[in-house]
Chains A and B, each alone.
Chain A
């Protein structure tokens, strides 16, 4: 109860801050619109208004404050505007029986989700395979690990269009191309976590295996792999969020297929800030749900395996 109250307090404070920020952010547009409607604005000249700064302008014109929340294309849309847009493009579409129309965020969320899950599966698989080979081969450890780290310093935004072009020339399906781009981000936390996890058995546990003359394969399946479970789940949580980012970035390059990334792009083409923000919030919600789902699986698995109680 107490924690719920503190969470609500924080959320209320954030929304309050958001509303407050709308005033200076949208005050210029509000002034222009008010002037067009024949209202008095001080100062009357636009260049002068720009010179004096947003906050000073807002302070001089308290009469404009109400209108900063009612613009079609505000620089910063207010929470209720984003909320209304989200409602209209999700439940509102369902009510009209058009849940999977092109204007529905449900459709775009689903497109992003499928690319995310595919990329997450690719990335997890690649990450585990790389980690296993790194742990078992010193040559891999020395040669591949630096490349893996280097790969993450290349901006995904730069590499995504190249992946799209290369895969398109190989006539690979768009969904798989998006999965590959998403994998590029999500395999990294899995490699790092799994390498640490597979190496987590201590010297005593390894000696114990030795006293039983266990083979490398037996040590792997019976000791290393189960020991890595807590590390794997921690990595998967980071990995799934990274997958979603990768999928959204991929949709910027493959925007003809739709998706939350395509909505972001279209929104920024046409200055539809409300649409951008609702796509952003949609992506954030999707990420939260995915991370929560993995947390759930984590709790269940680790409790079962005796790592938590």
Chain B
């Protein structure tokens, strides 16, 4: 097997707060291979978002080591290794959809002549062709989030880090976006780290599910998803799916995630 794309070893992160130290991450070790779709699931405070933020160099670990493509997270960021999708689309209202996708290209200093190709390609990927000239407020919440995924993909990062990207959307839109995300993943062979609250979402999307629990934030279980890569939405009613979902629930219970 090839080298892991993201490698975390004994990662510790302690926030100093007025109420004393908070152990956001404790002794977290995890390897994410190229092309993996890894979901992080667990209750609030379990460190799943913090882990993603450490990988993205938005937080500094207080102990342990993490590498992205064999580099430190900062180096990886400068090498445009990853795109980050936040819970809210965060599109700029004064820019069109094209303008928003162009934003990271401008900032990263891509030559102007290449902008159009990049934008066209990612608009196709998220199925928003023809909406490029629209402004964010003219789009539904789901479309806005797709635009924000397109923006994260615009500069050809191999890794996509997604922090509850569909958390603010209703279930019907969410199902649709889940399907589209799988399709996109299949087409692009990106490595995806995906934080979620939803067990069905985690099971439906991932190749591996990382179950975490709080106080201190730690990994309690890593579940290999045995579902085939071809996943229609109704796969969620099959016994195999329910079996894996059950294991995730067990993992959460083992970590006392339901205590509060």
Interface residues of A (CB under 8 A from B): 204-205, 207-214, 218, 222-223, 226, 229, 304-307, 309
> Which of A213, A229, A304, A306 has a CB less than 8 Å from the CB of B77?
A213
Q: Give 10 A-B pairs besides A207-B58, A211-B83 with Cβ atoms closer than 8 angstroms.
A: A207-B84, A209-B107, A210-B57, A212-B108, A213-B107, A222-B106, A222-B107, A306-B135, A306-B137, A309-B137
What residues on B are CB-neighbors of A309 within 8 Å? Answer: 137
Q: For residues 49 through 95 of chain B, which have their beta carbon under 8 Å from a beta carbon of chain A?
A: 56-58, 77-78, 82-84, 86-88, 90, 92-94
Known: A212-B104, A212-B108. A305 touches B94 (CB 8 A): yes
Quick check: is B136 within 8 A (CB to CB) of the other chain? yes
Residue contact B90 to A204, C-beta cutoff 8 Å: yes
Q: Which of B56, B94, B136 contacts A211 (CB 8 A)?
A: B56
The reply to whether B90 and A208 contact each other, CB–CB distance below 8 Å, is yes
B94 neighbours in A (Cβ, 8 Å): 226, 229, 304-307
B53 to chain A, nearest CB (A): 8
Is B227 engaged at the interface, CB distance under 8 Å to the other chain? no
Which of A209, A210, A211, A214 has most chain B Cβ within 10 Å?
Answer: A211
B90, A211: Cβ atoms under 8 Å? no
In the complex, the chain A residue whose C-beta lies closest to that of B108 is A212
Q: Does B222 touch A at the CB level, under 8 Å? A: no
Is the pair A306, B136 in contact by a Cβ cutoff of 8 Å? yes
Known contacts A213-B78, A226-B94, A307-B93: does B108 contact A204 (CB below 8 Å)? no
Contact A208 B86 (CB under 8 A): yes
B86's partner among A207, A213, A229, A304 (CB-CB below 8 A) is A207
B55 to chain A, nearest CB (A): 11
Bound Cα distance from A205 to B77, whole angstroms: 17
Set A204, A211, A213: member contacting B88, Cβ < 8 A: A204
Q: How far is the CA of A304 from the CA of B94 in the complex (A)?
A: 7
- A307 to chain B: closest residue by CB: B93
Closest-CB distance, B110 to chain A (whole angstroms): 11
Query: Which residues of A are found within 8 Å of B104, using beta-carbon distances?
Result: 212
**Bound CA–CA A307/B136 (angstroms):** 11
Beyond A207-B58, A211-B56, whether A222 also contacts B78 by CB under 8 A is: no
A208, A226, A229: residue with the most chain B Cβ atoms closer than 10 Å? A208
For A212, list chain B residues within 8 Å (CB). Answer: 103-104, 107-108
Chain B residue with Cβ nearest A306 = B93
Nearest-Cβ distance from residue A227 to partner chain B, whole angstroms: 8
Other-chain contact of B92, A207, A214, A218, A226 (Cβ < 8 Å): A226
Q: Which B residues contact A (CB, under 8 angstroms)?
A: 56-58, 77-78, 82-84, 86-88, 90, 92-94, 103-104, 106-108, 135-137
Say whether A218 contacts B58, CB under 8 Å. Answer: no
Task: Say yes or no: B93 contacts A305, CB within 8 Å.
Answer: yes
Whether the pair B56, A213 counts as a contact (CB closer than 8 A) is: no
Q: Tell me the bound Cα distance from A307 to B135 in angstroms.
A: 11
CB distance from B137 to the nearest CB of A (A): 6
In the complex, chain B residues whose CB is within 8 Å of the CB of A218 = 106-107
Q: Out of B58, B90, B135, name the residue touching A205 (CB < 8 Å).
A: B90
Task: Pick 10 A–B contacts, CB within 8 A, sort by A.
Answer: A204-B86, A204-B87, A213-B78, A213-B107, A218-B107, A306-B93, A306-B136, A306-B137, A307-B93, A309-B137
Rounded to whole angstroms, the CA-CA distance of A306 and B107 in the bound complex is: 22
Distance between B132 CB and nearest chain A CB, rounded to angstroms: 15
Given A226-B92, A306-B136, A306-B137: A211 and B84 interface contact (C-beta under 8 Å): yes
B78 near A210 with CB under 8 A, answer no
Kindly list chain A residues whose C-beta atoms are within 8 Å of the C-beta of B108.
Answer: 212-213
Q: How far is the CA of A210 from the CA of B58 in the complex (A)?
A: 8
Question: 10 tightest A-B contacts by CB?
Answer: A306-B93, A305-B94, A211-B84, A212-B104, A214-B107, A212-B107, A204-B86, A306-B135, A218-B107, A226-B94
Chain A residues with CB below 8 A from B136, complex form:
306
Does B103 lie within 8 Å of A222, measured CB to CB? yes
B84 cross-chain contacts in A, Cβ below 8 A: 207-208, 211
Q: Which residues of B contact A214 (CB under 8 A)?
A: 107
Q: How far is the CA of A270 from the CA of B84 in the complex (A)?
A: 73
Residues of B within 8 A of A208 (CB): 84, 86, 90
**Bound complex: CA A229 to CA B103 (Å):** 19
